[in-house]
Amino acid sequence: QQQVKQSPQSLIVQKGGISIINCAYENTAFDYFPWYQQFPGKGPALLIAIRPDVSEKKEGRFTISFNKSAKQFSLHIMDSQPGDSATYFCAASMGAGNQFYFGTGTSLTVIP
Amino acid sequence: GAVVSQHPSWVICKSGTSVKIECRSLDFQATTMFWYRQFPKQSLMLMATSNEGSKATYEQGVEKDKFLINHASLTLSTLTVTSAHPEDSSFYICSAIQLAGPYEQYFGPGTRLTVT
């Protein structure tokens, strides 16, 4: 059973456009929602994360939007660049030190 | 800060041999480390949770006798793939959580294992 559902599976965006990746969860006990970026042959790197007490968090060109009532959160990449081409994973966890439940990943391609 | 290293970054071994992969937290102490397996174009699959000084907790379907995990110190966890077979070929990634730290998991760069 997939605890965190992620869409789309793949995404192609023009340079300068906005990339949007969505995730949904069912377990209301989740209290931490990170996004990871992974390049081929590398480990995932933390991009940005949010707790459920806020609806939005922005760091540079990356923004997480969080809708607690809908149990959904999304990653927005503004002014997408070819260097952003990677696989993005959302995740959720409950409590510090506990395992993460990962989404299935989104392969983003930004074309010049 | 919060750097996790893995060694080796890639390894090729013959079927039937054992391979050890090391995961180190370089600038912090980690009470908990996780081991993941990732197939091409797929998500991370949690194999086991490793706590310093205690036995690892394996996910359902993961053979504990095949994938031996040792978390001997607050900065080192090892995964040994015993009697490796071609189907064990995969990308293995570890992550670590800081002692008394926040929620973040810091991932290592991964180890590519190829069994011939």
| Band (B15; pLDDT cuts 50, 70, 90) | very high
For CA atoms B109, B52, B84, B12, the dihedral sign is: positive
What single letter denotes the amino acid at residue B112? Answer: R
Residues of B in contact with A32 (CB under 8 A): 103
HSE (side-chain half, CA atoms, 13 Å) at B71: 23
**Is pLDDT of A97 > 80?**
no
**Confidence (pLDDT) at B101:** 65
| Band (B49; pLDDT cuts 50, 70, 90) | very high
Instruction: Note whether B103 contacts A104, CB cutoff 8 Å.
Output: no
**Is pLDDT of B54 > 90?**
no
Q: Is B86 helix (H, G, I), strand (E, B) or coil?
A: helix
**Is pLDDT of B67 > 90?**
yes
Q: Is-contact B46 B59, C-beta < 8 A? A: yes
Instruction: Note whether A104 contacts B42, CB cutoff 8 Å.
Output: yes
- Strand extents, DSSP E, B14-54: 19-25, 30-38, 44-51
Residues 6 or more apart in contact with residue A12 via CB below 8 angstroms: A108, A109, A110, A111
